[in-house]
Structure 1
Amino acid sequence: MRPKPYHFRSIPTLWVDYVSGRGVFSNGQAVRPKIGERRKNPNLLDMLDTAAEVGAERIMFTGTVPVNDREVRHWLLVQTPGWNAGWIDQAGQMVGHWLGTPVTGRFERVATGQRVEVRTAAEWFGSTPLNPEQARQAWDATAFLVGEAFRGQHLGKTPAATGTNLWAVSLPAGLDLEQVTDDIAQELHRTSGQHHLEHLVGGLSFAAHEDCVPLVDPVVLPRLETFAYVDGRFMYASLCRELGVGPGVRLNRADTVDLLDRDPYARARVLVRFKVPDTWNHAGILGVRHARAEEGWYYPNRPGAVGETWADTAELHVARKAGWLIDPIESVAFTKTTTSEGGRVVVRPLDTFA
């Protein structure tokens, strides 16, 4: 089913330093906190009253915000006379604080019903040290770029809500998404790792499996003269390109062999038996889950090692080109094109982010 995009509105926000209470409103106007008697710095009640006075519906704290510590009372769980914690939403459900990370506080003024959310700039900008004005400008810049790229769309309350909505807005015209079946969804979750993490230097940190061999012997090479670091964060975006969609079709061995020969980049997951080439001297390509699931995954690279695992067709294409012996057992193929009222549609549900 095709998701329906939302049209978020701009939220009047008070960007404020947690300790001093000094901040700026959404329009850049400087704001001084209303500090109660016999206090040098404002408390949460002071900041709620300040937000109400300037018409803010959200407080974004910057600076040194207390970390969540189970041994200490949470900084949102304090007395706020004149303000109730949480409110009743349109569905009649009570909506309260979220004390995890990132934190969300929700307060409703008793006298007027005015609602104020309390969040942190770190939810959007991570550990980057920002003062209130810098955080406001970073928000405005992000909002401008999103609006330019996505036909006037606004930022949502959270990065997750924003990303989900931008995905809905950017789906190809005429594409009506169909979910994978429950059994295939569970199988994908059970047989897919999130990262390829390996330490390929011999020693205590090396993978504890007989089919994994270190590529660097610290006895022979006790010191590395050079070191290269590759920031691969943007590599994740490439994984969004040209994905398939549900519901997923199960193929037997013969049909899977035909699929791999005919379309090595088919959108499919394949259960295979494999053998590492006898001359292999590199990192492993295919991940295998440990017998004890809590131990994670290992990547066989010992020459002649054999194994069985689920892998993406793109991974298998790389392995076959490198000389690995691949014996398909079965597969699940996903949809690359679908039919709508306007004709054939190439699905590509996440290409906007690739």
Structure 2
Amino acid sequence: MDAQSYNATLADLRTVRDNIKKTQTALAKLEAERDKRIAQLATHDKAKAERIAPAAGLSLAEVVARAPELAPQSLAADATPAPEPAEADQPAGAPHIEPRPHVPQPTAPPTGPTGETPQAPAAPAAPTAPVALATEEGEPRTLPSIPEGGTGDAWCAHMPGLASTRPSFTQQARSTVFLDTDIGVLVHRQQTHHLDLGSRSAADILTAVFHTIPEGVERIYITAGDPWHRDADRHPYLRDAVAAWLNAPTPGWRTDTGRGRDRMAGHFVHARNPVGRYQRESGDSHVEIRSVREWFDTDGDDPATIRDAFVLLWQALRRHWSDAVIMGSPSQTGRDLWTRTIPARGQHSDGYPVLSEELRGLLHATAGQGRNELLTPPRVPETLPQLVEYDRTFAYAKHTWKSPVGTPRRITGRQFAAWSDKEQARALYGCGHWHIRATVPDTWDHVGLLPAPAPSYRAWHYPATPGTTFTTWAGGPELHTALTNPLTPWKIEVLAGILWDDGKPLDDWAKKLKEAWSNLSAQAHFQQDPQQSRAAHLASRAVRAILLYGIGSFAQRPRMVTGTTPRTQERDVPPDAEIIGFDDDTITWQKPTGFSRDPNAHPEWAAAIWSGARAALLTQRHRADDTYAGALHAAPGTVIAFRTDALYLTQPQAWPYHQQPGDYLKKGHLAGPLAAPTSEEDLLTLRDVGRAALTPASTTAGA
């Protein structure tokens, strides 16, 4: 770019900036006008929030927040759920089901998803002594606790007739093609085709692919192009653009409603990795359009290389599972492979029972996932000498060797206090989930150790101010770390807990995946052919995704059902639905439907692994090297951020790295002085520059 072009583009950028400001001002005025009209409507003596919500394009809770006098007696306040990237099984006959996290409301019995027969469990009792932590950022968020007496004891049970069992059928493979919609290149088996994709609509893609492959395909992986974003500039949010693309007319096709053992049905709306499911109107063809980025990040890889990666992945899995089949997503594949490791005889051959809905709801509300925290000035210096990124390789695979099994036991605070020190230590080191009151030591000068509920929906933060006392829930690994950390033990009072027997339901599954990952990583390192080396690397990343998202799928969060209602029938929008979009003809909404009868729902396993991973970010022993790694082994004030499996520090560390799961890999290093990041965007920008600045010789391909 020459100087003239530079100055012209700079002038254009200023114009865009001014237009953005004008649009934001106009939007603020419209929102103020909307809220004013809601307030006017609320003065009517027969005004109802369920009538006003669809007219305003808001959820019931959002209308009530603006006009509290409209709150019905039974309304429980709830924040807007955040999108959940993992896909879950969906019942046949219930199109438009999208799994989204939802805070369980223990005061009412959950209902089954549309299309399933609702179960009739005993209605859970209201939780007692809700946990709250007041913060400067907003109102405290409450966490449920176990009710006293027999009601709470009844929570510690299993769902009758629902258990994870070994499948008695062979999973069927699907004919798959790989399509780059940017350049119209399609790879089918060993053949490459060039297609005219027209406008890149779903209809154009289906027409072109089935014209080229007349015998038909069942899965189309989009390797590049993101066609669902083609009209992104016409919609306020990416998710709206994706929904419009998925639901656009497809002559000769309709939304798939599922078939046979495959209960996946309807489109899956996700901002970046959506799934379109279509069925010929004649009913003789079913096909999915999916993003390959569900499996791994691509970097300009051509469809042939990605096809080779899936071939290598299948070969690696077949060495451990003779009936292994690659399914549509890593989570589906991981869960299917796990069911095939359930013992056919002996202990647990009758399966792993699913917890009661009440206990699953408690775990969903009180057990967070990865730690994501940015420390900003004055907790860290305003100017950093450098920024070093350490990422734990294949981290979750390190924490699958022990998991909860058996009937959970409820432990009261009085019971725990009556135990000996040895019994207490054994319980906290075992498989448990604990309701506690924690106090930060008066001399503490490092990062926080335990998650506490932050005001926003499903958010967590980590109190570190000396003398702070807070009440929360935490897993055994984190409590063990708080009590035995290398600096100063924290004061912990156990109020209640849930304790399981120690078992190994995931150990065989994880060992096989770790071996597949190790073999593929070695192929990527030693393979002389660049394309095959890259394919092996992508395949190793896919194995990582199978384990990572497989663990996430055990959490099986309560579901959101998405539906549409004609604008002319606005009154038919469910009263507890949230409006997520509308046009001249239809209103699109979503509503929570509670838990499905998923036989593979085990949030206790996911919670235990996540707790172990968060604890390992703080301290982790390397027995072979007789040393420790983690945030607590870096100097106070040098920890800048936690990001799921990664640490960002201002000083390099001599932590051992042997390319094993859980090892800390130095992944980025940016020399300073640098302004301390004050937002996630700032951190990610510095991360990317730091990764680019780190020489390839100082990293390891197996990460």
Pairwise TM-score range, normalised by the shorter structure:
0.7 to 0.9
Match of 2:277 among 98, 105, 109: 105
**Matched ranges for 1:197-276 at <5 A:** 197-203=372-378, 214=379, 216-218=380-382, 222=383, 224-232=384-392, 234-245=394-405, 247-257=407-417, 258=419, 259-276=423-440
Counterpart of 1:62 in structure 2 is: 223
Match of 1:169 among 340, 345, 351: 340
Compute the displacement of 1:119 (Å).
Answer: 2.6
Distance 1:78 1:186 in 2: 36
Counterpart of 1:139 in structure 2 is: 310
Report the RMSD for the aligned CA atoms in angstroms. 3.2
> What amino acid maps onto 1:151 in structure 2?
S
Match of 1:117 among 275, 281, 288: 288
Are residues 1:350 and 2:521 paired? Answer: no
Counterpart of 2:501 in structure 1 is: 335
Are residues 1:193 and 2:368 paired? Answer: yes
Compute the displacement of 1:129 (Å).
Answer: 2.9
Distance 2:267 2:256 in 1: 10
Are residues 1:24 and 2:187 paired? Answer: yes
Q: Is the 8 A contact 2:365 2:458 kept in 1?
A: no
**Greater relative CO (CA pairs within 8 A, separation 6+):** 2
Distance 1:245 1:277 in 2: 34
Counterpart of 1:308 in structure 2 is: 471
Q: Is the 8 A contact 1:181 1:246 kept in 2?
A: no
Compute the displacement of 1:114 (Å).
Answer: 3.5
Distance 1:41 1:253 in 2: 61
Distance 1:41 1:297 in 2: 41
- Report the CA distance shift for 1:95/1:329 in structure 2 as closer, same or farther (over 3 A): closer
> What amino acid maps onto 1:12 in structure 2?
S
Compute the displacement of 1:237 (Å).
Answer: 2.6
Match of 1:289 among 435, 444, 453: 453
Deviations 1:294-332 (Å, cap 9, x if unpaired)? 383222222222222211122111111131122222111
Distance 2:367 2:264 in 1: 37
Counterpart of 1:342 in structure 2 is: none
Compute the displacement of 1:9 (Å).
Answer: 2.5
- Report the CA distance shift for 1:273/1:95 in structure 2 as closer, same or farther (over 3 A): closer
Q: Secondary structure at the match of 1:309?
A: strand
Compute the displacement of 1:228 (Å).
Answer: 1.5
Q: Is the 8 A contact 1:85 1:96 kept in 2?
A: no
- Report the CA distance shift for 1:325/1:66 in structure 2 as closer, same or farther (over 3 A): same
Q: Is the 8 A contact 1:44 1:80 kept in 2?
A: no
Count, aligned residues: 322
Deviations 1:196-246 (Å, cap 9, x if unpaired)? 23223325xxxxxxxxxx2x232xxx3x22321012362223333311035
Which 4+ residue blocks in structure 1 deviate beyond 6 angstroms?
39-42
- Report the CA distance shift for 1:159/1:94 in structure 2 as closer, same or farther (over 3 A): closer
Deviations 1:82-125 (Å, cap 9, x if unpaired)? x322356446x995444443222314274x92333333322323
Counterpart of 2:637 in structure 1 is: none
Q: Is the 8 A contact 2:181 2:200 kept in 1?
A: no
- Report the CA distance shift for 1:295/1:97 in structure 2 as closer, same or farther (over 3 A): closer
Compute the displacement of 1:75 (Å).
Answer: 4.2
Q: Secondary structure at the match of 1:198?
A: strand
Compute the displacement of 1:274 (Å).
Answer: 2.1
Deviations 1:15-43 (Å, cap 9, x if unpaired)? 222144332212x123344x59xx79993
Compute the displacement of 1:335 (Å).
Answer: 2.6
Are residues 1:85 and 2:254 paired? Answer: yes
> What amino acid maps onto 1:29 in structure 2?
Q
Deviations 1:134-163 (Å, cap 9, x if unpaired)? 111111111111111333411112222111
Distance 1:139 1:285 in 2: 40
Deviations 1:39-70 (Å, cap 9, x if unpaired)? 79993254233354254333222221224447
> What amino acid maps onto 2:435 in structure 1?
L
Distance 2:336 2:165 in 1: 9
Counterpart of 1:280 in structure 2 is: 444
> What amino acid maps onto 1:24 in structure 2?
V
Distance 1:149 1:167 in 2: 12
Distance 2:222 2:389 in 1: 33
Q: Secondary structure at the match of 2:331?
A: helix
Q: Secondary structure at the match of 1:183?
A: helix
Distance 1:332 1:231 in 2: 31
Counterpart of 2:118 in structure 1 is: none
- Report the CA distance shift for 1:48/1:217 in structure 2 as closer, same or farther (over 3 A): closer
Q: Secondary structure at the match of 1:286?
A: coil
Unaligned runs of 5+ in 2: 1-162, 236-240, 512-703
> What amino acid maps onto 1:272 in structure 2?
I
- Report the CA distance shift for 1:302/1:136 in structure 2 as closer, same or farther (over 3 A): same
Q: Is the 8 A contact 1:180 1:245 kept in 2?
A: no
Q: Secondary structure at the match of 2:391?
A: coil
Compute the displacement of 1:172 (Å).
Answer: 4.6
Distance 1:183 1:78 in 2: 40
Distance 2:490 2:199 in 1: 69
Higher normalized helix content (fraction of residues)? 2
What TM-score comes out, normalization by structure 1 length?
0.78
Q: Secondary structure at the match of 1:104?
A: strand
Compute the displacement of 1:277 (Å).
Answer: 2.1
Q: Secondary structure at the match of 2:373?
A: coil
- Report the CA distance shift for 1:271/1:25 in structure 2 as closer, same or farther (over 3 A): same
